[in-house]
Structure 1
Amino acid sequence: HDMKGMDMSKTSMKGHAQMGRDALKMDEMRMSKAMMAAKAADFDVLWAKKMIAHHQGAIDMSQSLLKHGGDTEAKRMAQMTIDENTKAKAELEAFVRKHGG
């Protein structure tokens, strides 16, 4: 997401964290409804697909930090996050392919 031109000075880190928690809660509620209606095998694949999206979100945010951030430690953690989530995402994608999702 391109943040150029956005005045982020008025949005606190707490505000960003709360927005993230609110979005996560909404995702969890949608996922819960779909998962409750799913059979066990479908539940597994649905879970994996939701986790793929979760890991992709972490990758996207970390890539944005690498592009726009300035702190060396934050960039190191962002790269570590990209590496770990890329691996986890690939494992989940293989699981989905194997289980016909």
Structure 2
Amino acid sequence: MRVSLPTAVRRRRALATAGTVAALALALTACGSSDDTKSNGSSMPGMNHGSGSASAPAAGGGAFNDADVKFAQEMIPHHQQAIEMAKLADGRAADAEIKKLATAIEQAQDPEINTMKGWLKSWGKPLPEAPMGDMPGMDHGSDGAGMPGMMSDKDMGDLKAAKGKDFDKKFAQLMIAHHQGAVTMAEDEQKKGDNAEAKKLAEAVVTAQTAEIEQMNKILGRL
């Protein structure tokens, strides 16, 4: 014999059943969304599988133009030559301030080279590959068609051959010209570039290298 339950009890049981079904449906939906995200994440634009980043490298990210590319492609070998010059101070320089400055140039410009290489890779642009001596605008006193301030082979040879106070003077004189070229290139990037990170680095180059130019002029004044 089936006992008829009161209407109120039947309603409470129906509501409880509906709530359980709804909760189960929500749980299944959440799991499905999570699985979809995991399975589709690697195919989303900008995702680098195994890179640890969900998008292109932050450095150099965003809009860029031809001036930004030119700045990076030319400033890399420009910095590389400055580092080469700075390394010559070891065993040749006599002045303590010149030695300290040479170390500072290496420590500052090497990370900047890596940063700019990262930009070019993220932009899909080639890294500069030509040997420094074969690149346009390499000669000291360039008319600006290539890279201003770059040392010629003769300049580098003279610096390598110098020692002591003679080295200190040549280093300061050549590095001043080299820095002036870098400042010119950086100011051009500030005017014509579009990428925020590139323009920020250009500003840092202008600030740091202008200060070093002033420092080297003072050193020359006392040598």
Query: Relative CO higher for 1 or 2, CA cutoff 8 Å, sep ≥ 6?
Result: 1
Give the AA of the match of 1:73. E
**Cross-structure match for 1:94:** 218
Residues 179 and 213 in structure 2, CA contact (< 8 A), matched pair in contact too: yes
| Bigger CA radius of gyration | 2
Amino acid at match of 2:192: H
The 1:32–1:71 alpha-carbon spacing in structure 2 relative to 1, beyond 3 Å, is closer
Q: Does 1:78 align with 2:181?
A: no
TM-score after normalising by structure 2: 0.34
Q: Which amino acid aligns with 1:59?
A: V
Q: 1:72 to 1:39 in 2, by over 3 A?
A: closer
* Structure holding more helix per residue: 1
> Structure 2: any 5+ residue segments left out of the alignment?
1-65, 74-125, 140-149
State the partner residue of 2:151: 27
Letter in 2 for 1:84: A
1:40 and 2:164 aligned:
yes
Shift of 1:18: 4.3
What is the distance in 1 between the residues matched to 2:175 and 2:169? 10
| TM-score, structure 1 normalization | 0.68
Alpha carbons of structure 1 residues 18 and 60: separation in structure 2 relative to 1, 3 Å: farther
> Number of residues paired by the alignment?
86
Pair 1:62–1:32, CA change in 2 (3 A): closer
Shift of 1:28: 5.6
- Give secondary structure in 2 for the equivalent of 1:50: helix
Match status 1:57 vs 2:178: no
Deviation of 1:71 (Å): 1.0
Change (3 A) 1:18 1:56: farther
Between the aligned residues of both structures, percent identity stands at 27
Amino acid at match of 1:21: M
Q: Which runs of 4+ in 1 moved over 6 A?
A: none
Q: Secondary structure at the match of 1:27?
A: coil
